[in-house]
Amino acid sequence: MLPTIAREGDEVVMVDQRKLPAQEIYVRCKTAPEVARAIKTMVIRGAPAIGVAAAMGLAIGMRKSKATGTQKFAAEFFKLCELMASTRPTAVNLFWAIERMKRAVAQAATAGESVDQIKDRLDREAAAIHDEDVAACRAIGAFGAEVMPAEANVLAEAILPTQAIPADAPSVPAFPADAESALSPAFDTVVTDSVPALGVIDTVPAIVTQAAPPEDVPVTTTWAGTDPSVTSEPVG
């Protein structure tokens, strides 16, 4: 299984989170507009991952730029920044990553760097954003591990918005409010991760990990009946 998102040459590869857990499908984005569409259509979700995607999208987009002068290059870059910013207006990490990439360009301009040097700087900055997020996530896990009992059973309940509700849409059932209390007896710790949204038509509960579960608690080691021949599909 590949990482959630990765840079492969001048392509950004990301797991299509809309298809999980039933399928493990990877989307290959070859241009910045394709990355923007992937963010907008929720191929990739989660604030940090969205920021990483935007940074990588800007990097591959400007890597393909034919501009020979820094002024034209900068104009193209800021246009792509506007495109990325329009994808998810409420995603904080998205704008944080865009601003960080803008600072990289500003620093390059101050240093009098050439177009090729600026492209290299953008590649490095996008890679740094990715690597720092991975390190932060691992640190969170390490800190959490320190406070978990050795024989702990952990239920992580992820509430993920899947689609916005039209204003006139009828209400639909969501994950039962008492589900946590019903499931809790089998687990030492219940971690709830709720994603706020303006409107949601569905929510998805997910058991993320179980360590040393009771004998009467079934363990699912894999969710997806993945076809290994399926490695990518167009963004859409």
Cα(80)–Cα(88) distance, integer angstroms: 14
Peptide bond into 176 cis (omega under 30): no
Sequence letter at residue 37:
R
Residue written as token pair 């600072």: 103
Model confidence pLDDT, tens digit, residues 163-180: 343 444 443 334 344 444
Distance CA 124, CA 118 (A): 10
Q: What is the Cα gyration radius of the chain?
A: 21
Write the pLDDT tens digit of every residue in 181-235. Answer: 444 444 444 444 433 333 222 333 333 333 333 444 333 322 233 333 333 444 4
Superfamily of segment(s) 5-144: translation initiation factor eif-2b, domain 1 (1.20.120.420)
- pTM of the shown model: 0.67
Q: Domain residues of the chain, as ranges?
A: 5-144, 151-214
Residue of 159, 207, 232, 162 whose CA lies nearest to 18: 162
Q: What distances in angstroms separate CA 224 from CA 25, 221, 236, one per listed residue?
A: 10, 10, 21
